[in-house]
Amino acid sequence: MLKPLLFLVISIPFLFSSQISASPSDNALWGGSKVTPTEYKPQKVVYDVHVKTVEAVESVLDRASYLSTITGADPFDQSIVLVLHGKELSFFAIDNYKKYEELMKRAQSLVESEALTIRMCKIAAQSQGYSPEDIHGFIEMIPMGDAEIIRLQYEEGHAYMQ
């Protein structure tokens, strides 16, 4: 019993010293990751968008656009819907166009050119002082964002994304 304990006491400092002096390549014991080739079929997805910054909206647009691209961007076989119902609504107001011009041009372009739809909650818009006429025309106004997300999931088979 004493020999294994003695071995452990002597070995512990060497274990820690080798980890401290290890280079990054020494830590890649299993090598680097590799991309698994995967073919994705067209998808039905609803993004629940409730964000506060332009960067966060851009991130959602990036993800939705990339998903559309890798699944074929076929409006007949797929459906990608962004449901807006947070602070980001103000970015889509016509009065704020000059301030968010680049974001609006990109969003409108994605709606026009891909299988992407952007819908806005009328209740959330009203709570922020907007009526449907205050929002750019490429946005579809819906009665309630939460109800639309539920409808898309359970009636149309959309997967839920945040």
Three-state SS for 98-127 is: CCCHHHHHHHHHHHHHCCEEEEEEHHHHHH
User: What per-residue confidence (pLDDT) applies to 27?
Assistant: 86
Whether 69 has a pLDDT exceeding 70, the answer reads: yes
User: What per-residue confidence (pLDDT) applies to 71?
Assistant: 87
Domain segments of the chain as ranges: 51-161
Whether 148 has a pLDDT exceeding 80, the answer reads: yes
User: What per-residue confidence (pLDDT) applies to 23?
Assistant: 59
CB-based contacts of 39: which residues, under 8 Å, 6+ apart? none
User: What per-residue confidence (pLDDT) applies to 8?
Assistant: 44
User: Mind listing the pLDDT tens digit for each residue in 11-39?
Assistant: 445 444 444 555 567 788 898 899 999 99
Give domain 51-161's CATH number out of 3.40.1260.10, 1.10.10.60, 3.40.50.261, 3.40.50.1170.
Answer: 3.40.1260.10
User: What per-residue confidence (pLDDT) applies to 24?
Assistant: 60
Whether 118 has a pLDDT exceeding 90, the answer reads: yes
pLDDT above 70 as % of the chain: 84
The model carries a pTM of 0.79
Q: Per the structure block, which two tokens stand in for 60?
A: 């959602």
Q: Which residue has the higher pLDDT, 78 or 101?
A: 101
